[in-house]
Amino acid sequence: MAGIYKGKYASLGLFLALTALPIALGIGYALLRSMGLAGLGAEGFTLRHWEAVLSGGEFWRSLGLSFRVAGCSIGLAGVLALAAVLKAPERWQRGGLSWLMYLPLTLPAMVVAFVVFQMLSGAGLVSRLAYKLGLTSGIQDFPNWVNDSWGIGIIAAHVFMATPFFIILFAQLYQSERLGEYAQLAATLGATARQSARRVIVPVLLRQSFPTLVLYFIFVMGSYEIPLLLGSQSPQMVSVLTIRKLQRFDLADIPQAYAIGVLYMVFVAAAAVFLLRNNAEKTSSTC
Amino acid sequence: MQRFLLLAHLFLTACNNPQPSHEADPTRLPWEQVIEQAKGSTVQLMMWQGDPLINAYMQQYVAPAVKQQFSITLEIASGQGNTIVQTLMTEMEAGKSVGELDLMWINGETFYQLRQIDALFGPWTERLPNAQFIDFQNPFINTDFQQPVNGYECPWGNVQMTLIYNSEFVKDPPRTRAQLADFVKAHPGKFTFDTQFTGLTFLKSLLIDIAGGGNALDGPFDEAKYGQYSAQLWDYLRDIQPYLWKQGKTFPDSRSPMHQLFSNGELWFTLTNNDNEVDSKVGQGLFPPTARAYVPDFGSIQNSHYMGIPKLSGNKAGAMIVANFLLSPEAQWEKQKQEAWGDGTVLDPSKLPGDWKQRFENLAARKYAPSRAEMQSRALKEPAPEYMIRLAKDFREQIIER
């Protein structure tokens, strides 16, 4: 019995050493750097870099934009994927379409960003088509869809990448949770297709996929290449802002980059723990 | 908490004991011995790899040549200024005794930062046999962003900023600051500049023009001058901002997206720090054949780019051999060929042996950019690096985030 416990603790220790320890060391080092206590040119304990980050509007605008972009991307992709799965749940399981769905997932983010740029920029394909159809009289009439302050281009790129992923996820959940059978049951009890979708299928799909959706949300918030190419210069998404502070021109800005990194991590970790714990409680209370 | 501090202390002290490299200092050895020491070694070069012509020159010409002549394997990693600074900083902070890099392609801004953190090996360049041919009298070569190079980086090439325009739409490109403002207002959305090195270099030339042109900003950074002239620069830019690309609400992040916007016709102008780029891009079919380069009357910045060796390099001898090869008349001549790279030489042709002077003079002239001699009269020197750091910061506050 003791041997089992020993083995359990050893594997837990190994797990922590591989996951938590590097992160803890990283955060510890970032904290020291942001307070002038480590790194080349460290000036000694100071809070001025934290003050600069917290009091300047730049970081908060950047966090707000990252949150908005992730929310819109996941929201849109989720709705599209739900609609596709509800419309024809079996079609995504087998056959050519199920394979085709994997194609966007194989594209690197940078390539997707470039495709979106080529499609939606002022002189892009959509704008050219609009011009040929007589809808616009030139580039100046075409709306600002890339490098705009709302992040429309960024959202488009993420929706393009996330939708097939969610379709695959929902379609598999549909099968593993036997939602088809529940839908039939609901129908025999007199529910319309709309009612069974709203009351049965969608809630189960969303609840079961919630942790994945939260993780994808965090992934979008922290994405770099797509906002680098398709974003605006102000505000910038958090990762782009951090890299700018870390790498561009002024070495004295580096501690600020570390402060932003720590702050961002704290926000994301707190949000993730809150959301996932809430979800776990809800799931266990309903089961 | 105490435990954490103890751990942090151990972690930091463990990191702060760099061991000296065991390699014999090659600057103290006769050149034959340097060659001997480097034989069979590998040199790790980090450089910007954003141009297929430059990559081809390095991979297909330089790497095989140093392999064949000196049995040195040249491995090239991708990374420019900021990546190099970050890499070396991290290595020094981690207390590594031997770093990953042996040679790096750098200039002004990076040189300044690397000197700030004391990451460069030197002085070493005078030890190179080919250094005797370098045009060290030329202030555009012996001084990098107002900092004497003092043997800590070796000149490699020389370029001048040009404005590129599409002559299909622009018949008479603006020559002065006032003309540029008028042009931008008359043709909204067709002009912009990026927020990286190229765009900042353009802003520096405007700043020098506002300050009176020529040598007005020579010498160390001058806060009073900067304050006075940058205020005028922001006024000038705010005046034209609504007529820039995307109403001046955002700017391209670097030169490549700006080139992209130029090739697809969204912009009528683009900028380049490499005066030969218009010829090479038209040749590759990436720019329209109507693209032309010019230097406005207010001038443009000319600068040199260099090779540096990190203090932590484990193969300084090999790095010096490669640098010496890059400086050889044949390598510089090959590099200046239009079809190769078209990069200006840093050698003084009158110092060269044999018929090299003739051969440099016989290189085919370019078609779409003015000749180097023509541009030289409007060449401006790089001001001190602090001007660029301040411009980058204030441009955000005064223009982008306004």
- One-letter identity of residue B277: E
pTM given for the model: 0.84
- One-letter identity of residue A245: K
Residues of A in contact with B12 (CB under 8 A): 32, 38
Coil/strand/helix, residue B96 = coil
CB contact at 8 A, B168 and B288: yes
Question: Residue B246 and residue A234: Cβ atoms within 8 Å?
Answer: no
Per the structure block, which two tokens stand in for A247?
Answer: 């790498």
Per the structure block, which two tokens stand in for A235?
Answer: 């505000």
**pLDDT band of B77, cuts 50, 70, 90:** very high
CB contact at 8 A, A240 and A228: yes
Give the mean pLDDT of B264-268: 93
pLDDT at residue B23, as a whole number: 62
**pLDDT band of B7, cuts 50, 70, 90:** very low
Q: CA-CA distance, B182 to B170, in Å (whole number)? A: 13
Question: pLDDT: is A252 or B17 the higher one?
Answer: A252
**pLDDT band of A285, cuts 50, 70, 90:** low
pLDDT at residue A9, as a whole number: 85
CB contact at 8 A, B73 and B43: yes
Which member of A29, A40, A232 has the closest CB to residue B250? A232
Question: Residue B251 and residue A234: Cβ atoms within 8 Å?
Answer: no
CB contact at 8 A, B46 and B78: yes
pLDDT at residue B47, as a whole number: 95
Per the structure block, which two tokens stand in for A88?
Answer: 């024809």
Find the helix or strand (DSSP H, E) in which B63 lies.
Answer: helix B63-70
Q: CA-CA distance, B51 to B341, in Å (whole number)? A: 9
Q: CA-CA distance, A65 to A222, in Å (whole number)? A: 11
Q: CA-CA distance, B309 to B321, in Å (whole number)? A: 12
Question: Residue A246 and residue B86: Cβ atoms within 8 Å?
Answer: yes
Which member of A117, A232, A247 has the closest CB to residue B82? A247
Residues of B in contact with A148 (CB under 8 A): 246, 250
A120: number of CA atoms within 13 Å, CB side?
22
Give the mean pLDDT of B361-376: 91
What digits encode the pLDDT tens for the residues A195-240?
A: 888 888 999 999 999 999 999 999 999 999 999 999 998 899 999 9
A286: pLDDT strictly greater than 70: no
Q: How buried is A138 (Cβ within 10 angstroms: 0-12 exposed, 13-18 middle, 19+ buried)? A: exposed
Low-confidence winner among A65-69, A114-118, B20-24 (lowest mean pLDDT): B20-24
CB contact at 8 A, A242 and A260: yes
* Percent of chain A surpassing pLDDT 70: 96
Closest chain A C-alpha to B193 CA, distance in angstroms:
12
Coil/strand/helix, residue B41 = coil
pLDDT at residue A237, as a whole number: 95
B174: pLDDT strictly greater than 50: yes
pLDDT at residue A95, as a whole number: 72
B71: pLDDT strictly greater than 90: yes
A142 at interface of B, judged by CB pairs closer than 8 A? no
Question: pLDDT: is A182 or A4 the higher one?
Answer: A182
Coil/strand/helix, residue A229 = helix
Q: Which of B23, B73, B78 is nearest to B48 (CA)?
A: B78
Indicate if ipTM > 0.90: no
pLDDT at residue B218, as a whole number: 94
B18: pLDDT strictly greater than 60: no
Coil/strand/helix, residue B101 = coil
Interface test with B, best of A31, A32, A40, A126 (most B CBs within 10 A): A40
Coil/strand/helix, residue B265 = coil
What's the mean pLDDT when you consider all of chain B? 91
pLDDT at residue B335, as a whole number: 95
Q: CA-CA distance, A130 to B17, in Å (whole number)? A: 64
Q: CA-CA distance, A161 to A163, in Å (whole number)? A: 6
What digits encode the pLDDT tens for the residues A229-273?
A: 999 988 999 999 999 998 877 888 899 999 999 999 999 999 888
Q: CA-CA distance, A213 to B10, in Å (whole number)? A: 40
> What are phi and psi for residue B166, nearest 5 degrees?
-95, 110
Burial code of A255-264, b = ≥16 C-beta within 10 A, e = fewer? bbbbbbbbbb
- How open is the CA angle B392-B397-B398, to the nearest 5 degrees? 95
pLDDT at residue B399, as a whole number: 94
What digits encode the pLDDT tens for the residues B232-242?
A: 999 999 999 99
**pLDDT band of A284, cuts 50, 70, 90:** low
Q: Which of A242, A201, A200, A205 is nearest to A222 (CA)?
A: A242
Give the mean pLDDT of A184-193: 87
CB contact at 8 A, A250 and B393: yes
**pLDDT band of B176, cuts 50, 70, 90:** very high
The answer for B122, left when phi > 0, alpha when psi is -120 to 50, beta otherwise, is: left
What's the mean pLDDT when you consider all of chain A? 89
Question: Residue B246 and residue A124: Cβ atoms within 8 Å?
Answer: no
